[in-house]
Structure 1
Amino acid sequence: MPSGTLLYAQSGGVTAVINATASAVIQAARARRVKVLAGRNGILGALREELIDTSKESLATIRSLAHTPGGAFGSCRVKLKSLDEDRAKYERLLEVFRAHDVRWFLYNGGNDSADTALKVSKLAKEFDYPLTCVGVPKTVDNDLAVTDCCPGFGSAAKYTAVSVREAALDVAAMADTSTKVFVYEAMGRHAGWLAAAAGLAGNRPDEAPHIILFPERPFDEADFFARVKAVVERVGYCVVVASEGIRTADGAFVADAGGGKDSFGHTQLGGVASHLAGRVKDALGYKVHWALPDYLQRSARHLASRTDLEQAMAVGEKAVEYALEGMNSVMPVIVRTSDSPYRWKIEPAPLSKIANKEKTIPASYLRRDGYGITDKARRYLQPLIAGEAPPPYGKDGLPKYVSLKNEMVTPKLDPWNA
């Protein structure tokens, strides 16, 4: 039986399947008789010594996490700076780890989280503290380097494609006397993977979505208006999918939420659909409706992809395996071995090749005119939304999601003052 405690923490925006990863981590560790603590609200829990004792939860409850959305232990958007700039925080982390005999640290997040795990591992080595750090992939944006795809993306992509197809049927039914243009806003700051996934909603040229706006291509308003007008005149209506991060040729976001920047230094986005809807109405005179699904894209566990669920659990299991084998500063990544039939496996990749790197859509995935996806993109995306994994439902007609006790261990250190 390995000696020590494993600390698991969730980071950044949650996904429909991040709790499935947590479930797999805890079950894999329990099978090896390793105690698992979880950081309350991510890395903040480690800094504040607010650590949840997962052994207080029944096996049935832990298994039920696999079909429960949200972040069971709480997450946070906190980015630690360099080892020099935030040294006191990193040293505090090691102090907490020592106090609770934490020998394995699993950080479940995106590229910023991979960077944090890498820095913690370097500091532990500097202080000669036996700690193995493993990054665990998660993000609906699908922008992590090295891994073929990111757990969380497949379910959000499925939600997006299904929502766009269903909304398009609604618009088509009303177009003769009502709505002519519908604008759907997809998440994606610099990478338009979710917007691209909307392209799966239609298979023929005149099927929705008729226009997709990607952050990888500069937005030209005049050309956009001309294309909307042409589609309405040809099809009778136009469905537009816009990534929240689309920019003009000079690099300015087309729309933002006016909320300043978050702790990661990111501009608060949101509102591009309403902005475009207003501009289309003013310029072309069409009746326009728009939708901002926002958190719905990443919380829709009822519409999760079976592929995504299986991959989310697989990276959790492998993360524990890698950690207990002493594979420091790595991340379990998904490697595609075949498109048809779709096949994949999990392999370790160095955090140094993932931290703070961002994967955008390859040019070969975007149509030459920049307003749709290619067949190559379809071959990549289609397997990721395949299969259904519905949660169990109760007699009230609602999903049976689980709530944890989240009992804390007794603190051993003085309170932390940021």
Structure 2
Amino acid sequence: MKPRNAFYAQSGGVTAVINASACGVIETCRKHPQRIATLYAGRHGIVGALMEDLVDTRRESAAAIRALRHTPSGAFGSARYKLRKFEDDPTQYLRLIEVFKAHDIGYFFYNGGGDSADTCLKVSQLAERLGYPIQAIHIPKTVDNDLPMTDCCPGFGSVAKYVAVSIREAGFDVASMAKTSTKVFVLEVMGRHAGWIAAAGGLAAEQAADAPHIILFPEIAFDEDRFCARVKRSVEKYGYCAIVVSEGVRDAAGKFLSETGGRDAFGHAQLGGVAPFIAQRIKVRLGYKYHWAVADYLQRAARHIASKVDVEQAYAVGKAAVELALKGHNAVMPAIVRVSDRPYRWKIGMADLESVANKEKMLPRDYITADGFHITAKARRYLSGLIRGEDYPPYKDGLPQYVVLKNVPVKKQLKKGFVL
């Protein structure tokens, strides 16, 4: 059987370990030249496929590909671009198949979250409808940890570790100054609908007096009176109050506290600024001096403090995606299966994309304490294994050394361009 080519792309917000998945895909493809001739990567996700903007990964050395394992962000560029429904606009999907045909692509590996799983599923369905043989495999990735059918999502463990370490260190700082200065510190973290990242901050609090004293989750409606009373109690009891707040916290009416009014490319409300909002309410109601910080891109780019477990899982799902394709699977996703909590042990399984696409896994209510302000022992058992181990990148002159790929473009085969 003549070997065919493969296509890989990264989608949505990048992570500290998404390139480890790319490394797993590329290295595994290179081990099977009799089945996969060339692995092309799309520049800026699915946009690269639509625009026929491909790069030839053969032009990268083995050392450069190996270095992807410890390099953050998206080596080939990512994008927030959601394909419209096929029924509304079939041209985008037909264009994908046209590009795939032009480059003899028989394997489609798409690395992203729930929207990406939906795209992967639709490509598989359309290819079947048109009689074009292609195997579409979704590779899980999202710092939000909200994909179903997998124990966790690659990218989350490293963000969880960053947030837990950050709030612990900030807590020490505030505690040392609380007598005469700052009483309250607020750390804003990502998490639009699900509070997984905020919950991870709770790992830093091994004792009741430890930071964070309060966590605000998207799953729990914000009650200002109850919240301020809790802040006051913490300051009076411990001398200060450290808070982790998810960007997706809502009021009782369901409105985001931090909604700016804009929309992103996926149609989601643009969020940002819940930390200063919360801090200002504390100032107005209680008069405490405060500081706040927004982790923003720092939390998802912090490869220097990545979880070793997360790195290993990210590589494993990339490797498994290729192996599943070579075994003939289609419209599936390699999933992480938890074997045990203590010690945390896991293996790779498989999930159908119809069970993953456009679905969100929320933080379970029994992971949140009855008062709604912290995590339970059950949450701690789930989370603790995901941040275990260190996997430091190589350093030179005190700075981490990351790779920048050559990303040599592939010659276009189609005369006709495409307008997004």
Partner of 1:53: 56
Residues 1:360 and 2:352 aligned together: no
The letter of the residue matching 1:183 is V
RMSD: 0.8
Match of 1:197 in 2: 200
The answer for the alignment partner of 1:290 in structure 2 is: 292
TM-score, scaled relative to structure 2 = 0.98
- The one-character-per-residue Cα deviations of 1:322-375 (angstroms, maximum 9, x if unpaired) are 112220000000000111121101011000000000000111111010000000
- Residue number in structure 2 paired with 1:17: 17
Q: Give the drift of 1:189.
A: 0.3
2: distance between equivalents of 1:257 and 1:291? 18
d(CA) in 2 for partners of 1:235 and 1:256?
32
* 1:239 alignment partner, SS class: strand
* 1:226 alignment partner, SS class: helix
2:198 maps to amino acid: A
* TM-aligned CA deviation for residue 417 of structure 1: 2.2
Separation in structure 1 between the aligned mates of residue 69 and residue 89 of structure 2, nearest angstrom: 35
2: CA distance between counterparts of 1:28 and 1:294?
33
Provide the residue aligned with 2:99 in structure 1.
96
Q: Distance in 1 between matches of 2:69 and 2:369?
A: 37
Q: How does 1:388-407 map to 2 (within 5 A)?
A: 388-394=390-396, 396-407=397-408
Q: 2:145 aligns with which of 128, 142, 146?
A: 142
- Could you tell me the percent identity over the aligned residues? 61
Residue 308 of structure 1 corresponds to 310
User: Is 1:125 the counterpart of 2:128 in the alignment?
Assistant: yes
Task: Map residues 7-406 of structure 1 onto 2, 5 A cutoff.
Answer: 7-33=7-33, 34=36, 35-258=38-261, 260-394=262-396, 396-406=397-407
2:188 alignment partner, SS class: strand
2:399 counterpart SS class? coil
Secondary structure class of the residue paired with 2:127? helix
What is the SS of the residue equivalent to 1:309?
helix
Give 4+ residue runs of structure 1 displaced > 3 Å after superposition.
Answer: none
> SS at the partner of 1:268?
strand
TM-superposed CA distance for 1:282, in Å, is: 1.4
SS state of the match for residue 285, structure 2?
Answer: helix
User: How many angstroms apart in 2 are the aligned matches of 1:269 and 1:17?
Assistant: 24
Deviation at 1:86, TM superposition (A): 2.6
Letter matched to residue 405 of structure 2: L
Shift of 1:69: 0.5
User: Shift in Å at residue 257 of structure 1?
Assistant: 3.5
Task: Mark the runs of 5 or more structure 2 residues left unpaired by the alignment.
Answer: none
Residue 82 of structure 1 deviates from its aligned partner by 1.5
Work out the CA distance in 2 between the residues paired with 1:137 and 1:388: 22
Q: Deviations over 1:187-226 (max 9, x none)?
A: 0000000000000011111211000000001000111111
Report the secondary structure of 1:135's partner residue.
Answer: strand
How far is 1:2 from its partner?
5.8
Q: Secondary structure at the match of 1:333?
A: strand
What CA deviation, in whole Å up to 9, does each residue of 1:124-179 have, x standing for no partner? 00000000000000000000011000000000000000000000000000000000
Deviations 1:68-101 (A, max 9, x none): 0010000000011211113100000000000000
Instruction: Give secondary structure in 2 for the equivalent of 1:327.
Output: coil
For residue 41 of structure 2, what is the amino acid of its counterpart? A
CA distance in 1: counterparts of 2:61 and 2:211, whole angstroms: 46
Cα distance in 1, alignment partners of residues 90 and 124 from structure 2: 13
Structure 1: runs of 5+ lacking an equivalent: none
Q: CA deviation at 1:13?
A: 0.1
Equivalent AA in structure 2 for residue 399 of structure 1: P
SS in 1 for 2:346: strand
Residues of 2 paired with 1:2 and 1:293: CA distance? 49
Displacement of 1:316 in angstroms is 0.3
Q: Distance in 1 between matches of 2:24 and 2:88?
A: 35
